[in-house]
Structure 1
Amino acid sequence: MTVAVTMFSGGRGAAGIARGMLGTPGAGLSLVVNGYDNGLSTGALRRYLPGMLGPSDFRKNLLLHLDSADPAQAALAAVVEHRLPAGTTPAGLTAVIEAIALRRGRFAALPEAAREALTADLRVFARRLAAHPHGLDLADCALGNLVFAGAYLRLGRDFNAAIDACVRTFGSPVRLLNVTNGENAFLTALRKDGGLLADEADIVAPQDPGTITDLFLLREPVGARRRAELEALPPEWTRRILGRERAEVTPNPRALEAIREADLVVYGPGTPHSSLLPSYLTPGVADAVARSRAAAKVFVVNTREDHDSRGLTAPDLVDRTLAHLGDPRNERRLVTHVLSHRTPGPDAPAVPEEILDRGEWAGARWVTADLTHPDRPGVHHAERTAGALLAIRDEAVRDEAALARVR
């Protein structure tokens, strides 16, 4: 019997869990991701192609199934992760594309179907760059992002169709889904001290401790001048102004279906304010979780603190998830369980002893297990964490069956 697992994810934070699920017989995995990434080269690409969301987190999830010991899969991973060096010109990009087309060097073992698809989409992007050579510095661009961009252009600027095309090209067994229908939006955050984090790159960057109080998805990016104007205002004024400039986004029906039809819903680990919480703001997501047939809806606590969550405890992060889902008291049972590492390290979000003793928070059962990788501090162990999640799901199913018999 197949267990349908749907996990809210970012780029790399939940990669271990995803790999653990892919390695579990009978587990089918859907990942729900947002496209608000606006880092250095990704931000440059989004500015070059106005209207396109950020492909980076989707690109990173194309690596989950690839085995470096397999020459063909290693060649696919080389395309995903290859970074163009500083000084790369359009002609230099064309040379890389020809190396793929002729299967040279690191790309020698590319499967034929993937080689054809990759070459076609990269050439679409290269033609766009030749026609509009200004406005994009190719330095440090991930080649995988340019594959996405080429597919996006080829498919009539349909971001979600581009995701599907790339999933097919790289042979991913993951059902990779954008949480929205692809409307362009820009993530901005407001801190308690009134500081403005103008975009996703600011949110994930190292910063002084200071609680993020608000997230906004805006129609337009906040430029330097606009940022200075907003930061000169009282925080309440800034909050109201940004609230009036929110982008209208709509949910991806396939993502809602994956949530509703899941046997297990997982709120994966990662950078909360950039990768995870924005997804929960999407209209319809909370309702889909509430209506899901999943017996267990599990929040997985990070095994280390991120820049955007400094000073927040594990219960704080659960509360933030519930608040962004519009259910701060968990009255709709949007989170049924919380899973954390048995002995959190000094860099992990704190778990108060009284919560561990009580085994409950916000109406959700708190479960601990040995989750970290022994050789990679701060990383979830793939098999152990996937196994713990599936065990929670199995126990929840048994509990529901026992309750039904009593009734």
Structure 2
Amino acid sequence: MTTNQKTLATPLRVIVFTGGRGSSSISNQLVGVAGVKLQFIINGYDNGLSTGEVRRFLGDSLGPSDFRKNASRLALLLASCQPELITLLDLRLPDPCSDAEALTYLGGIDSVNLADGAIAQSTFGDTLKINLDALTKETRKALAARVEQFLSFKRAESRSFKFADCSLGNIIFAGSYLLRKRKFNAAVADYCALLGLPDDLILNVTDGKNAFLVAKNTDGGILQGEEDIVDANRRNKIDNIYLLSQSDAAKLGQLKVLKDRALKLSPKVKECIAGADLIVYSPGTQHSSLFPSYMTPGLGELLAANTRALKLLITNIHEDSEIAGAAATDIIQKARYYLQEKNTKSLPEPALITHYIINRPEQNTASDNYIPEGEIERIEDPRQVRISNFEDGASGQHDTGKVLLPFIDMARRQKHKPRVAVVCLDTTSINKIVQTIREMQRAKIELYPCDVTVFYSSNREISDSLVAESDLSLCYVAPSTDGETNNQQLVAKAVASDHDFVCMFESSGMYFGSDIVALVANLNQEKVDAVWGSRRLSLTDIHQSYRYRYRSHLLKGSVSYIGSHVLSLAYLVCYGRYISDTLSGLKLVKTEHLDRSSDWIDDPSANQYLLARLLRSDGRSFEVPVDFLPMSPDQVSRTGAMDGIRALRVIVMQRIRAIFSSNG
């Protein structure tokens, strides 16, 4: 595999901080994006309903609920296991449900023949039986092994367990926890493996040490856990959150000061954040699912250390009970507070979050449930803010196409090194070609984020040792013998290759190879279609050139000077863009704008056809000054008066054709 192929094959690594279901629309759509390696970072501080019962039963475990919900959703989207397994794990035992009934249901998981009445005849029992019957023998044995771990612990410790309305998945997860020697992160990987998911797809933010989430309201009241925090009847106004040790949580009412437990980041989370290209702070239940992850010691510093990644904070669209009365800017302020470990760190905000995504609903939307934008001026740098209608009209959730896909494209451009084909035109001189390469090397082209191949034609090949230290590649094209010119053959070869850009370099000796580097340096801009080398922007060189070329022909010089400005003004009139040097012999153009048929390259008006195509497509182009060496007309061909008139005609005619084609 070549270096270019390796670059293309490397997936974009996207990290999503998420909770249980709040960001499901985003994660659901991200799964379908090709060339993306997704990883979800979650915390285990949930203690509501059956998750809270599992934590009480096990005694020292974090909560499995959000991990289980994400695993089910992703397994369904990825089709990583039988759909009946997902349905079974999401089933909840009846309410009420006695121990005897629960043991009957659980005991039937590994039953060979469920028709023998091992499972009680009920709606739940029928559903359980249908899904169990569809599973493979190996899958049922794996489930039964984890159920047995759970039941064995229950018998050995004589512990009670409230089975009513308990998710079967939570019981299986508890079995995984016991099977993996009470190592929570290993239990997450074990549970994901049951569903055919990679062990690094869903990660716990910490090393698995147990902790309990509590919150303090602005009135001083204490909210004991996630269930109270998200209680829709409360409309909480939360001042701060804390992660307590088990002993502190047990005596919460006696504590005068709430103190966070010393937690550690998961080693796998450290690894995935360090290598991430795009990091997404999802919308959702902020105080229960997201802020607790952000406050993990060392996380903010780790995020700041990744200077390559784009980092998006997506604020909620709709108000929730735990952010009652909050604006989008309040969510942003709190996220920064927790990422700074409650302002105990002094990390630059752009190092933690590069972009803030704030929804602005349509003006005719009749709802008072939308979160207001807030005081946008509180965000110091407006370059970080994106405000628009990001809502999907059908679901009321975020539209990933509007929110994330532009940033995925941006991250891909940052990650992918552009491949540039430098075509040495108008020469077969080995000395001129080598001089061009040497000038590129002296300008340190290897320091720029691109892969460069020099296409040349000569009577002999250049040794690869010449470019070994500068990370350039060479592509030799034997001189044409079949009627094609060397220029046509070189351009056709470059366009047909897998390069993103083609740099057409007039190699007569008038231009300098170092200016190829000046053009390449602009490829770090967003959505570049062309970089045009302009001699007219180098005023000293252009005046010297006119003096040298027309020192004995003042009238010709005046005509040439005026004519070049006329061509530039023609573009301003026809396309609204002033092109200072329409006849440049040095330009870098995105390959998709070039015809595979290379006949055009030797046409005196080749630049005009190319510029017309670029400007018609609204391509984004830059002009940069380039140095050049005035040369005698005896040494190089010049653009004559008739060539200039023909070029003007091409500019106008191309514009007229574009108008007629757009009208029908």
**TM bucket normalised to smaller:** 0.7 to 0.9
In 1, the alpha carbon distance for the partners of 2:251 and 2:243 equals 19
Specify the code of the residue in structure 1 equivalent to 2:58.
L
Describe the shift of the 1:388–1:350 C-alpha distance in structure 2 as closer, same or farther (beyond 3 A). farther
1:188 corresponds to 2:214: yes
- SS state of the match for residue 14, structure 2? strand
Of 112-121 and 136-145, deviating more is 112-121
In 2, the alpha carbon distance for the partners of 1:181 and 1:159 equals 8
In 2, the alpha carbon distance for the partners of 1:330 and 1:400 equals 30
1:401 corresponds to 2:423: no
Question: Which residue in the other structure is 1:86 paired with?
Answer: 95
In 1, the alpha carbon distance for the partners of 2:395 and 2:325 equals 23
In 1, the alpha carbon distance for the partners of 2:372 and 2:165 equals 36
In 1, the alpha carbon distance for the partners of 2:318 and 2:248 equals 30
Once the 2 structures are TM-superposed, how far is the Cα of residue 201 of structure 1 from its aligned partner?
1.4
In 2, the alpha carbon distance for the partners of 1:75 and 1:52 equals 28
Once the 2 structures are TM-superposed, how far is the Cα of residue 100 of structure 1 from its aligned partner?
3.4
Question: Which residue in the other structure is 2:18 paired with?
Answer: 9
Once the 2 structures are TM-superposed, how far is the Cα of residue 386 of structure 1 from its aligned partner?
4.0
Query: Between Structure 1 and Structure 2, how many residues are aligned?
Result: 388
TM-score in terms of structure 1 length: 0.85
In 2, the alpha carbon distance for the partners of 1:273 and 1:70 equals 32
Question: Which residue in the other structure is 1:349 paired with?
Answer: 371
Question: Which residue in the other structure is 1:234 paired with?
Answer: none
Question: Which residue in the other structure is 2:425 paired with?
Answer: none
- SS state of the match for residue 214, structure 1? strand
Question: Which residue in the other structure is 1:331 paired with?
Answer: 348
- SS state of the match for residue 51, structure 1? coil
CA contact (8 A) 2:90 2:169 kept: yes
1:45 corresponds to 2:54: yes
Uncovered stretches (5+) of structure 1, i.e. residues with no partner: 231-237
Specify the code of the residue in structure 2 equivalent to 1:190.
K
In 1, the alpha carbon distance for the partners of 2:46 and 2:175 equals 18
CA contact (8 A) 1:265 1:294 kept: no
In 2, the alpha carbon distance for the partners of 1:294 and 1:111 equals 45
CA contact (8 A) 1:84 1:141 kept: yes
Once the 2 structures are TM-superposed, how far is the Cα of residue 342 of structure 1 from its aligned partner?
4.1
Specify the code of the residue in structure 2 equivalent to 1:265.
I
1:118 corresponds to 2:118: no
- SS state of the match for residue 190, structure 1? strand
Once the 2 structures are TM-superposed, how far is the Cα of residue 114 of structure 1 from its aligned partner?
3.1
Specify the code of the residue in structure 2 equivalent to 1:128.
F
1:205 corresponds to 2:231: yes
Structure (1 or 2) with the larger CA radius of gyration:
2
- SS state of the match for residue 82, structure 2? helix
Question: Which residue in the other structure is 1:365 paired with?
Answer: 384
Question: Which residue in the other structure is 1:140 paired with?
Answer: 165
Question: Which residue in the other structure is 2:258 paired with?
Answer: 242
1:267 corresponds to 2:275: no
In 1, the alpha carbon distance for the partners of 2:51 and 2:407 equals 33
Uncovered stretches (5+) of structure 2, i.e. residues with no partner: 1-9, 115-128, 417-521, 532-623, 625-664
- SS state of the match for residue 372, structure 1? coil
| 1:251 alignment partner, one of 261, 265, 268 | 265
In 1, the alpha carbon distance for the partners of 2:403 and 2:139 equals 32
In 1, the alpha carbon distance for the partners of 2:152 and 2:70 equals 27
Once the 2 structures are TM-superposed, how far is the Cα of residue 219 of structure 1 from its aligned partner?
0.9
Once the 2 structures are TM-superposed, how far is the Cα of residue 242 of structure 1 from its aligned partner?
1.0
Once the 2 structures are TM-superposed, how far is the Cα of residue 323 of structure 1 from its aligned partner?
0.5
Describe the shift of the 1:112–1:2 C-alpha distance in structure 2 as closer, same or farther (beyond 3 A). farther
Describe the shift of the 1:341–1:392 C-alpha distance in structure 2 as closer, same or farther (beyond 3 A). farther
In 1, the alpha carbon distance for the partners of 2:91 and 2:140 equals 15
CA contact (8 A) 2:97 2:163 kept: yes
Specify the code of the residue in structure 1 equivalent to 2:146.
D
Describe the shift of the 1:289–1:223 C-alpha distance in structure 2 as closer, same or farther (beyond 3 A). closer
Once the 2 structures are TM-superposed, how far is the Cα of residue 278 of structure 1 from its aligned partner?
0.7
In 2, the alpha carbon distance for the partners of 1:68 and 1:109 equals 19
In 1, the alpha carbon distance for the partners of 2:55 and 2:45 equals 10
CA contact (8 A) 1:21 1:28 kept: no
In 2, the alpha carbon distance for the partners of 1:69 and 1:197 equals 37
In 2, the alpha carbon distance for the partners of 1:134 and 1:24 equals 46
CA contact (8 A) 2:277 2:310 kept: yes
- SS state of the match for residue 50, structure 2? helix
Summarize deviations over 1:318-360 as a string: whole Å, max 9, x none: 11000001186862420110123342763232114x73xx8x9
| 2:196 alignment partner, one of 171, 195, 202 | 171
Higher relative contact order at CA 8 Å, sep ≥6: structure 1 or structure 2?
Answer: 1
Once the 2 structures are TM-superposed, how far is the Cα of residue 383 of structure 1 from its aligned partner?
5.0
Of 337-346 and 155-164, deviating more is 337-346
CA contact (8 A) 1:11 1:58 kept: yes
Question: Which residue in the other structure is 1:131 paired with?
Answer: 156
Describe the shift of the 1:59–1:221 C-alpha distance in structure 2 as closer, same or farther (beyond 3 A). farther
1:307 corresponds to 2:321: yes
CA contact (8 A) 2:154 2:160 kept: no
CA contact (8 A) 2:243 2:261 kept: yes
Specify the code of the residue in structure 2 equivalent to 1:366.
V
CA contact (8 A) 1:268 1:299 kept: yes
TM-score in terms of structure 2 length: 0.54
Once the 2 structures are TM-superposed, how far is the Cα of residue 225 of structure 1 from its aligned partner?
7.8
1:374 corresponds to 2:393: yes
